[in-house]
A and B are shown apart, each in its own frame.
Chain A
Amino acid sequence: MEKFRIALKKGEAVKYVGHLDFGRAIERAFRRAKLPVAYSVGFNPHMRLSFGPALGVGIASEAEYVDVEMSEAVDAKQFSRSLSEKLPPGLVLVAAQPVSSNASLAAELNLAAYQARTTGLVGAEQVAAAEAAVKRLQQSESVTYLRRSPKGIKTMDLKNYLVGELETEAAAESFAVRFWLRMTPGGAVKPQEVMRALVEQFGFPVGDTAYCRMALRAETNAGQKTAFEI
């Protein structure tokens, strides 16, 4: 059966929509688009959609991926046009390609690039403090982070999840930090936790921070692949 893999942008306006609600919104968009999506069989049939790794509530995204199985062949251009028209404001179709691979997006995509853009920093001093905090975190051997939840406290080393160098960019109104995080079967770190560590342990100045997932990749022994390559 034909399958499309689509890439979507989740904009600022809808970043507080959770993963399940996002899934339902995509389903409804397909229904409005009247595209021949395949359904599961059984008592309670549902659309054959599969999603990439869940995005945290409050994080925008440049790259959300969904696989959708079709019940009949559809022209790729027509597919994109029909779906784009019926997506709610804030969700934008970036790409749609027929794929033949059976790889699971959620299982294979294990690296995520995030951007944390902080506004409300005042003066060169605060910007310098932000730069210094990022540099010190980068240089630390390990960064212990205590995750508090109703289930208790979990101790994690953020360095086990951070991949490569953190980058910074100071603009007139804001200060951005960009970094890659690894998702493992044993768990993952939220970008908010990296920023909290920067504030609490390294003196990053407090501001209002907006998050965005910039990219997802699949890392294997053979190197990194994009969602359309797996």
Chain B
Amino acid sequence: MQLNDTALGSVAKPARYTGGEWNMIQKDPAKVDVRFALVLPDVYDVGMSNLGLKILYGILNERTDTYAERAYCPWPDMEAVMRSSGDLLCSLETHTPLQQFDAVGISLQYEMTYTNILTMLDLGGIPLLAADRSGNDPLVIGGGPCAFNPEPVADFFDCFVIGEGEEIIGEIAAVIAEWNQSGRAGGRPEVLEKLARIQGLYVPAFYHVDYNADGTCAGVKPKRPELSSVIAKRVVADLDGAYFPVRPIVPYLETVHDRIMLELFRGCTRGCRFCQAGVIYRPVRERKPATLMRLAQELTDNTGYDEISLVSLSSADYSCLRELAHSLLAEFAPQRVSLSLPSLRIDSFSIELANEIQKVRRSGLTFAPEAGTQRLRDVINKGVTEADLFEAAGAAFRSGWAGIKLYFMIGLPTETDEDVLAIAELARKVLSLSRNPARCKVSVSVSTFVPKPHTPFQWFAQIPAEEMERRQRLLRGALRDRRISFNWHDAPTSRLEGVFARGDRRLGKTLLEAWRNGARFDGWSEHFRADIWDAAFAASRIDPDFYTVRQRAAHEIMPWTHLTSGVSQEWLAAEWVEAQKGSLTQDCRHADCTGCGVCQDLGVSVIDWRA
């Protein structure tokens, strides 16, 4: 069921909805046993940039018994058109309504896309609540970073994948294939039962949540004895040997990351205490330079892209980066393919490298000191000094970069006004390092810290929205300089993100209520409606402050305690104590194990080709 011309002709960027891109997989749906729809609940331009789904799309479609297709969230203009025409949300490959798939796999990248999940299920003809699904309705499966606390969306999902998907996705496909071949014997309960036996797979309906009188979580317990009480994440031990998609779809529309994404390694053990990715993707596992060279050539041949981006949580930490960059340049510059390094470390090595690989210095360089004072940088374990920053910025200006972008956070634990004002001071000092400050630009981007589950700051009370705004005003006042631009995040959005990040199952009602009243694309400031959310909290009798500005007791049971990344709660708690003392924890990549527990717990190890 292709949307008709009247519909497509009346919306912005209609190519979001028509597919047909280079490398799109075409199969005969009648000849497979399992049909997957892979979903990223954001608009196509954003969703198509997600590496995780490219990997799963590749792995599933390599199976002859499976066909994986894609769907993204219709922009509100298209949703309105579809609601008035009655069209169902369909896959881009075969224009099949979502309700006809065996499984709909939804990537949970960001809490503020949660309402879009409901939009997509509803437009796809799938009952919103897992409890209301029956017989032929698809299995709705969540995954991605937010699946490490999926409780706020648990009501809408049949199951979640905790951790990395490379291996488990095939196991899931096999279970569904077998179930389909048996004529779906035993119905949904049977298949969910089988899925729950897969390690790393969580079926929320099989677990019961108890609450204490004060509203805190008293425990999440399996309803049956054969289910494990703690579900550990899946992790790929040998990333170098793992599947990597060398035929990614090349979109027509310009997407957010419209270039080759070459994943150098997974994990980051620098140990920044605010960072969830730094915990849930542990340990560090690198690909070999030779593997990366081969992947780069295949990707270039198969896509026609003219840029390779070296992606990872902190690409400059790749142990063989200099050698790799030189080999890539030697091989690809003659093929007119350029390199880019999305994340720079704050040191002269990174600048040298940026100079070598980015001949054209159109854009500026980006650094993330995260906090304005040394004291606060020590609290968050960001091992960067002011001297490092000045050295790096000075080197950047000397080599001809005209702009520098600085990333900071406000609202970090123990932050005072002095720390906030130091951000302005730092920006001014960086500007003054330029030989020609009149022509150079420094931009300061300040996000608001949102405490995330599975981090040393998971116990911390987020600052209230009014306080976020006060600190933003304070900083803006101190930053009055035409050569320094200042961006910040809207406080109400950061507050809502904070609610869902550390929320529990009771928030399902609030989410549903807000969505019914029109909440959509909440991460986009032009669509965010604080009034709808305020009303939804009131209607569902939920106090958002309970989730945000409340300091958790050390012994409190978190709504996600039954899901583990392999990093122990004791280690996180110890890090929280160290943070308050402002003492640093070293990176286990090149130094000794600091005892987070993931390697021992999950039987994996740090893989760094230099070590």
Contacts and interface: CB of A to CB of B under 8 A. Distances in A.
- B interface: dominant SS: loop
A28 B15 contact: no
A31 B5 contact: no
Interface residues of A, number: 31
B258 to A, nearest CB: 9
B8 A58 contact: yes
A63 B4 CA distance: 23
A86 B20 contact: no
A57 interface: yes
A31 B21 contact: no
A201 B304 CA distance: 48
Given A16-B15, A27-B304, A44-B360, A88 B21 contact: yes
Interface stretch (A17-25, A128-136, A140-148): A17-25
A209 to B, nearest CB: 6
B22 A28 contact: yes
Contacts of B18: 13-14, 16-17
Interface in A1-35: 13-14, 16-18, 21-22, 24-25, 27-32, 34
Given A25-B252, A44-B360, A31 B304 contact: yes
A14 B360 contact: no
Interface in A40-60: 43-45, 57-58
Determine which residue in A24, A27, A43, A86 has the highest number of CB atoms from chain B within 10 A of its CB, and name it.
A24
Contacts of B22: 25, 28-29, 32, 88-89
Contacts of A88: 20-22, 250, 252
A88 B24 CA distance: 9
B304 A21 contact: no
B303 A28 contact: yes
A208 B306 CA distance: 39
A58 B21 contact: no
Determine which residue in A16, A22, A39 has the highest number of CB atoms from chain B within 10 A of its CB, and name it.
A16
Interface in B1-45: 4-6, 8-9, 14-15, 17-22, 24, 26
A14 B304 contact: no
Determine which residue in B8, B22, B302 has the highest number of CB atoms from chain A within 10 A of its CB, and name it.
B22
Nearest to B250: A28
Give the interface size class of chain B: 20 to 34
Contacts of A90: 20
A114 B150 CA distance: 53
A99 interface: no
Given A14-B252, A45-B336, A89-B24, A58 B304 contact: no
B488 interface: no
B331 to A, nearest CB: 15
A127 interface: no
Interface in B393-413: none
Contacts of A27: 304
B254 interface: yes
A151 B318 CA distance: 51
Given A21-B15, A21-B254, A28-B22, A209 B304 contact: no
Contacts of A31: 304-306, 336
Interface of A: 13-14, 16-18, 21-22, 24-25, 27-32, 34, 39, 43-45, 57-58, 86, 88-90, 192, 208-211
Interface of B: 4-6, 8-9, 14-15, 17-22, 24, 26, 250, 252-254, 301-306, 336, 360, 362
22 contacts: A13-B18, A14-B18, A14-B20, A16-B17, A16-B18, A17-B18, A17-B252, A21-B253, A24-B252, A25-B22, A27-B304, A28-B250, A28-B303, A31-B304, A44-B360, A58-B5, A58-B14, A89-B24, A208-B5, A209-B5, A209-B6, A210-B5
Nearest 8 CB-CB pairings of A with B: A28-B304, A31-B304, A16-B14, A88-B22, A32-B304, A13-B20, A17-B252, A16-B15
